[in-house]
């Protein structure tokens, strides 16, 4: 009798323990099912950029404005911010322009809130640094920001030297018509941040890329020539023009359509420097901050194809976009007293 009771108690205890163990396992499984997988920082940032208008992958870019259009704008409609060094600014600038350093630009834009300018125009030497800065500001939501096309080079002949001397034909006899295939798709780069929200990540990355400056996000054609296999080169032209002749080894990506998460963005390498080139270096200067903000090591080729195949572009109307002397105006400019300033970062264009 005692044995029977003992066996019954043991059986009941085993059943109770077994039930509790099983119950605990099921509870853990439920917890695992409802755990939300945290998105990578780059993915969160990309979603925010897309929500802000997907700047790089739509028809809006590059947001360039010609010197002629700036010159004819009624007073009060437009605000020109000149980001060249103080000495260059003092020697001549667009009438009414203010001189702001690139690393102070985001704070300055915040100070303009409440102003009623229809357009804010960033001016630099050649239009490339201004395009770089305008891209960052556009991604932050400043949708009325433009870059002065060809920079101060187009405003007056006095300032045109940089575009004239950098429109070269260094590689015109070495162009390729062979297509280089894209990589297989992988994943977005990783970057670290303590920020939690997509908006905070966007603002943090924008400030970082702006403070690094154009020097960090650009490259000269001579560096490509010296190390031709050292880069993943993006030809940012339509396919038809790519087939006419391009920088050897470059891979064709269709402008305004190919660098989204659902298109071909993930074919870009995360372990190699990416060089993006367009016709003038201005469109690529819009693209590169977008890639750098996402964590890619990307650089814009200064002066674009004009820097190595200028004659080919002039002679072939299909390609076009060659820098011409007709782009140089002789509009009035102001001068000012130069106030000595600290060291200016190199790399401005």
- 276 DSSP assignment: E
Q: What is the pLDDT of residue 15?
A: 43
Arithmetic mean of pLDDT over the chain: 89
Q: How far apart are CA 285 and CA 57, in angstroms?
A: 14
Note whether 41-166 and 198-323 share their fold: yes
**Whether the predicted pLDDT of 77 surpasses 80:** yes
Model pLDDT for residues 13-23, shown as the tens digit of each residue: 434 443 434 43
Overall pTM surpassing 0.75 (yes/no): yes
- Per-residue pLDDT band for 159 (boundaries 50, 70, 90) equals very high
Does domain 198-323 fall into CATH 3.40.250.10? yes
- Closest by CA position to 305, among listed 242, 212, 217: 242
Question: Domain 41-166 maps to which CATH number in 3.40.250.10, 3.40.50.300, 3.40.50.2000, 3.40.710.10?
Answer: 3.40.250.10
The pLDDT tens digits of the residues spanning 142-155 come to 999 999 999 999 99
Token digits for 310?
């200028």
pLDDT tens per residue across span 210-232:
999 999 999 999 999 999 899 99
Domains of the chain, by residue range, sit at 41-166, 198-323
Q: Which residues make Cβ contacts (< 8 Å) with residue 177, sequence separation at least 6?
A: 243, 244, 245, 246
In this predicted structure, what is the pLDDT of residue 38? 60
DSSP string across 199-243: HHHHHHHHHHHHHH-TTTTEE-HHHHHHSTTSSEEEE-S-HHHHT
């Amino acid at each position: 009798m005692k044995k029977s009771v003992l066996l019954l108690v043991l059986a009941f205890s085993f059943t109770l323990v077994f039930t509790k163990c099983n119950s605990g396992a099921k509870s853990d499984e439920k917890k695992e099912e409802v755990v939300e997988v945290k998105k990578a920082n780059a993915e969160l940032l990309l979603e925010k950029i897309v929500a802000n208008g997907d700047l790089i992958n739509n028809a809006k870019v590059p947001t360039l404005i010609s010197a002629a259009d700036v010159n004819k704008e009624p007073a009060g409609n437009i605000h020109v911010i000149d980001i060249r060094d103080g000495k260059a600014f003092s020697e001549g600038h667009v009438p009414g322009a203010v001189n702001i350093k690139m690393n102070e630009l985001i704070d300055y834009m915040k100070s303009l809130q409440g102003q009623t300018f229809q357009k804010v125009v960033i001016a630099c030497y050649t239009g490339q640094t201004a395009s770089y800065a305008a891209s960052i500001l556009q991604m932050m939501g400043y949708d009325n920001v433009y870059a002065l096309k060809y920079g101060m080079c187009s405003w007056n002949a006095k300032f045109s030297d940089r575009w004239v001397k950098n429109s070269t034909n260094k590689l015109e006899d070495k162009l390729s018509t062979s297509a280089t295939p894209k990589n297989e798709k992988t994943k977005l780069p990783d970057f670290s941040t303590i920020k939690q929200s997509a908006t905070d990540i966007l603002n943090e990355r924008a400030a970082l890329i702006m403070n690094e400056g154009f020097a960090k996000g650009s490259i000269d054609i001579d560096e490509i020539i010296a190390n031709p296999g050292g880069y993943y080169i993006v030809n940012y032209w339509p396919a038809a023009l790519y087939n006419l002749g391009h920088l050897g080894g470059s891979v064709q990506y269709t402008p305004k359509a190919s660098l989204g998460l659902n298109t071909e963005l993930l074919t870009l390498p995360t372990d190699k420097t990416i060089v993006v080139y367009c016709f003038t270096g201005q469109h690529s200067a819009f693209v590169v901050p977008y890639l750098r903000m996402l964590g890619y090591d990307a650089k814009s080729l200064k002066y674009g194809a004009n820097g190595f195949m200028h004659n080919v572009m002039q002679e072939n109307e299909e390609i076009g976009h060659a820098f011409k002397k007709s782009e140089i105006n002789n509009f009035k400019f102001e001068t000012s007293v130069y106030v000595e300033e600290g060291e200016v970062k190199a790399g401005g264009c």
